[in-house]
Amino acid sequence: MTQRQLLQVLEEYLKGRMHFVQTMSELASRGQNMKMLKNANVMALLQPLMLDVDPSVQQIATQALGRLVGHSEEMAKELVQGEVLPQIVNSLPKHNNYYKKAATLVLRSVAKHSATLAKAVVDCGTLDSLMICLDEFDPGVKESAIWVLCHVARHNEDLAQAVVDAGAVPFLVLSMQEPEIALRRVAVSALSDISKHSMELAHIVAETGTIAILAQMILNPDTKLKRQVFSVLSQIGKHSVDLAELVVEAEVFPTVFICLQDPDEVVRKNVAILVCEIAKHTSELSQLIVNAGALPALVDFIGENEGSVRLPAVMALGYIAAHAETLATAVIMSLGIPQLTQVLSNEAEENYVRAATAWSLGQIGGHSSEHAVAVAGENVLPKLLQIYTSPDSSDDFQNKAKNALKNILQKCVHLPALEPLLRDSPQNILKHVVIQYSKVLPHDSMARRTFVKSGALQRIQEIKTAPGSELLEHINTIKSCFPEEVVRFYSPGYSEVLLERMEKFNPTY
């Protein structure tokens, strides 16, 4: 056999391998092929090729495996059980950048499925190898390494803590300032995934000076980066008052409202979440946000958007109003209630958004009679009642509606608004309505007049009450505000009594 023939054989073998791994890599990039590939046991075929003598075959085989594993969790489990991961992780620092990218793709695909798989990835000592990758100069390698960290930290607090313990946070903060936009996105996303779990983790992230850097990125033209930036800020701010204050101190506040009108929906939603998370902590923070001009921005936001994007803005209004009576007045004066009412009455809206709206309205109306009147003036009470009595609404929704009704009713002294409730509300709501009437009527003669005229007195007497109940007591209080004849005239069955008396009456000549 000549040398040429030998070379030809070798070359053909190499070509064959190359062709195989490339085809597999392409096939594996489509989800619908997974079943066939699994049945063909492609994974077992690819595993030896990962140790091939030719580095490009190695790299493409690893890439194919990564894609394969990314599409199905079962294969990921199989891969973990097959003890392939330690081998990949150990060889990671020695190989070139292309291989590193492919290997991190495998790790990422395994880790993204579940916390158990992510734990398995961490247990192989992946994090230390990834730290070496983060030292690399190539932004692509860095990006894919950070992506793995991101997928690991996403699952639970322990895994996020492991990522932090490996010393990833300073690297992430450094990568966040790189010129490559993709790298920045991934780094910010990883920070978001780390800080969402607990206060300690958020604190660690905040301590590295992340917030100041993030604050500069707010007006970055890149949409995906902006999404992540607002996500991190809200994840950091949600845990405690101190962290929220740190976020506020970065002077994000008047600026972020511009992004409430961003063309991208996720950016808008994340900004609204940020406002909501900051506002929920204390009245001071709420006041600060309000002073920065949050209310018109939020109200416009609710008006301009559709669907569940509005939820955080609605919640933010509720939180702001819940803190102090002045802030609730500010919400009312910024025309927040018509918008909220519109959301509440929109049947097509998701139920949880409407529930949140009901809660917010309850928070606004529960401060004083003025607030209650402002809320009741928008005809909110019958809507809430309808939601509460409707069998279609979920338990949570009914509960929220009931609490809101209670909150508003307990402060409402605007009797025309209460009147429709008198007609068709269940016993437990009726109680609050009657209590309000019994408070107002003894002091207001005009109200008494309209009360009788509108037939409310009759309705009140028709209510069935258990003797000795609180309701009965209040009804008696109301009755005592009127002369006896009037009360008797409007009592049920009085016409029959009159007729009876007429029959018994003997005219004397």
Position among 2, 3, 263, 495 found at the interface with another protein (CB under 8 A)? 263
Task: Among 253, 257, 319, 359, indicate the residue that binds another protein (CB under 8 A).
Answer: 257
56 binds another protein (CB under 8 A): yes
Q: How far apart are the first and last CA of the chain?
A: 150
Tell whether residue 442 is a contact of another protein (CB under 8 A): no
Query: Is 251 a binder of another protein (CB under 8 A)?
Result: no
Rounded to an integer, what distance in angstroms lies between the CA atom of residue 250 and that of residue 252? Answer: 6
Residue (59 or 270) nearer to another protein, CB: 59
Beta-carbon contacts of 166 under 8 Å, excluding residues fewer than 6 positions away, are 127, 128, 130, 131
Rounded to whole angstroms, the maximal C-alpha distance in the chain is 151
Tokens of 232: 């991190």
Q: Which amino acid is at 491?
A: S
Residue 114 sits in the site that holds another protein (CB under 8 A): no
**Residue (12 or 74) nearer to another protein, CB:** 12
**Of residues 8-27, those binding another protein (CB under 8 A):** 11, 18
Site string for another protein, 397-436 (x = CB under 8 A): ----------------------------------------
| Least distance (Å) between residue 288 CB and another protein | 13
Mutual orientation of helices 199-207 and 181-195 as an angle, nearest 10°?
A: 140
The per-residue DSSP string of 371-404 comes to HHHHHHTTTHHHHHHHHHH-TTS-HHHHHHHHHH
For another protein, give the closer residue by CB, 98 or 359: 98
The correct pick among 90, 308, 326, 390 for binding another protein (CB under 8 A) is 326
Least Cβ distance, residue 449 to another protein (angstroms): 32
Cβ-based neighbour number of residue 66 at 10 Å: 24
- What are the residues whose beta carbons fall under 8 Å from the beta carbon of 228, sequence distance 6 or more? 185, 188, 189, 192
Q: Build a one-symbol-per-residue string for 127-166: x at contacts with another protein by CB under 8 A, - elsewhere.
A: ----------xxx---------------------------
Q: How far is the CB of 284 from another protein (least distance, A)?
A: 15
Minimum Å gap between C-beta 178 and another protein is 11
Restricting to residues 458-487, which ones interact with another protein according to CB under 8 A?
none
Smallest gap, in angstroms, from Cβ of residue 96 to another protein? 5
**261 part of the interface to another protein, by CB under 8 A:** yes
Please name which of 411, 488, 477, 416 lies closest in space to residue 443, comparing C-alpha atoms.
477
Number of residues that bind another protein (CB under 8 A): 31
Nearest distance in Å: CB 296, another protein? 4
For another protein, which residue of 73, 136, 180, 200 counts as binding (CB under 8 A)? 180
Stretch that binds another protein, among 66-74, 250-258, 351-359, 462-470 (CB under 8 A): 250-258
In angstroms, the CA 208 to CA 327 distance is 34
CB of 94 to another protein, least distance (A): 11
CB of 295 to another protein, least distance (A): 6
Angle at 149 between CA 43 and CA 127, to 5 degrees: 80
Nearer to another protein, 137 or 505 (CB): 137
Kindly tell me which residue out of 17, 75, 98, 104 binds another protein, with binding defined by CB under 8 A: 98
Residue (191 or 313) nearer to another protein, CB: 313
| Tokens matching residue 244 | 């929220």
Between residue 264 and residue 323, which ones bind another protein under the rule CB under 8 A?
A: 290-291, 293, 295-297, 300
- Pairwise CA distance, residues 393 & 438, whole Å: 31
Which two structure tokens, joined as six digits, stand for 339? 């918008």
d(CA 173, CA 175): 5
In whole angstroms, how close is the CB of 223 to another protein at the nearest point? 9
Between 339 and 436, whose beta carbon lies closer to another protein? 339
Minimum distance from residue 55 beta carbon to another protein (Å): 5
Query: At which residue do the structure tokens 């150990």 appear?
Result: 90
Helices (H), 72-180: 73-81, 85-91, 97-111, 115-123, 126-135, 139-153, 157-165, 168-176
Which of 356, 346, 340 has its CA nearest to residue 397?
356
Dihedral sign (CA 229, 232, 237, 238)? positive
Measured from the CB of residue 314, what is the shortest distance to another protein in angstroms?
18
DSSP 412: -
Report d(CA 107, CA 89) in Å as an integer.
9
Which residue of 221, 467, 468, 507 would you call a contact of another protein, by CB under 8 A? Answer: 221
| Cα 474 from Cα 480, distance rounded (Å) | 10
Residue with tokens 């492991």: 162
Instruction: Give me the least distance between CB of 374 and another protein, in Å please.
Output: 13
| Calpha distance 151→421 (Å, rounded) | 53
Nearer to another protein, 183 or 440 (CB): 183
Asked if 329 interacts with another protein (CB under 8 A), we say yes
Residue 478 beta carbon to another protein: minimum distance, rounded to whole angstroms: 33
CA distance linking residue 52 with residue 91, whole number of Å? 13
Rg (CA), the chain: 34
Residues near another protein (CB under 8 A) are 11, 18, 54-56, 96-98, 137-139, 180, 221, 254, 257-258, 260-261, 263, 290-291, 293, 295-297, 300, 326, 329-330, 333-334
